[in-house]
Structure 1
Amino acid sequence: MSADTAGETGPRSVLVMPARVGLADVPGLCARLSALYGGGARSVVCDLGAVERADLAVVEALARLRLTARRAGREVRVVNAGSGIRELLALTGLGSLAEPPGAS
């Protein structure tokens, strides 16, 4: 699921992460991100508010989304990450992806 919003520096879109994320979901998420960029989005916010479980599949998905964004010369930000996800991101060196609670 995604939604478009107007950003100050161009179109911004939101990619909503599903409640349960498995490794098999990663290619589809990356394809959706690429499609958002192809549709004109300058930056994408990945909303993790629905994610039920903090695990390495979520970290893998976020790492791949970041790589997809960088390859497109764009950026992706993570919002609404629970404390467990933020801790896993920090442990894996990806802590800069997640904003502190309430920063969006």
Structure 2
Amino acid sequence: MNSARRSGLPGVDAENPIALTVTGRISRAVVPDLCAELERALSGPRGAALAPGASVDCDVGGVIRPDLVLVEAVARLGLVARRSGRTLRLRRVPPELRALLALVGLADVVALGEGPEERAAGPH
């Protein structure tokens, strides 16, 4: 698992200075850390600069074997974003994660930023 705020994520709005990158295999033990990282980012100067309702990008393209633990992480990150008046937008979403989000009814709760064809194209 690796997560970091970074700029220059393909397709990220220039006005959105916060992007969370989640990679590797996600375990339940790291979900609170991911949420805390997003909370810190949103309460910091960059988060304060975001307009109300702005999206926070979360790149999940590097996740290994998406499962229900990742779905839980996405749901909890979405709640963190909503509590701050923002929305969570997933980027580079693997087809397996799209299917799981649809299965549990979360596909309409988080914004899915890119389709599988854009994920296959990779960074520009």
TM-score (norm 1): 0.86
Which structure has the greater CA radius of gyration?
A: 2
- Tell me which of 29, 35, 38 is aligned to 1:33: 38
Cα deviation for residue 38 of structure 1 reads 1.4
Unaligned 5+ runs, structure 1: none
Instruction: Return structure 1 stretches of 4+ with deviation > 6 angstroms.
Output: none
TM-score (norm 2): 0.73
- Per the alignment, do residues 51 and 29 of structure 1 end up closer, same or farther by CA in structure 2, a change over 3 Å counting? same
Within the alignment, does 1:22 sit opposite 2:27 as a pair?
yes
**Percent identity over paired residues:** 38
Q: Give the distance between the partners of 2:59 and 2:13, measured in 1 at CA.
A: 16
Within the alignment, does 1:46 sit opposite 2:26 as a pair?
no
Comparing both structures, which one devotes a greater share of its residues to strand? 1
Q: Give the distance between the partners of 2:19 and 2:85, measured in 1 at CA.
A: 17
Tell me the C-alpha RMSD between the 2 structures. Answer: 1.9
**Alignment length (residue pairs):** 102
Unaligned 5+ runs, structure 2: 120-124
Within the alignment, does 1:70 sit opposite 2:75 as a pair?
no
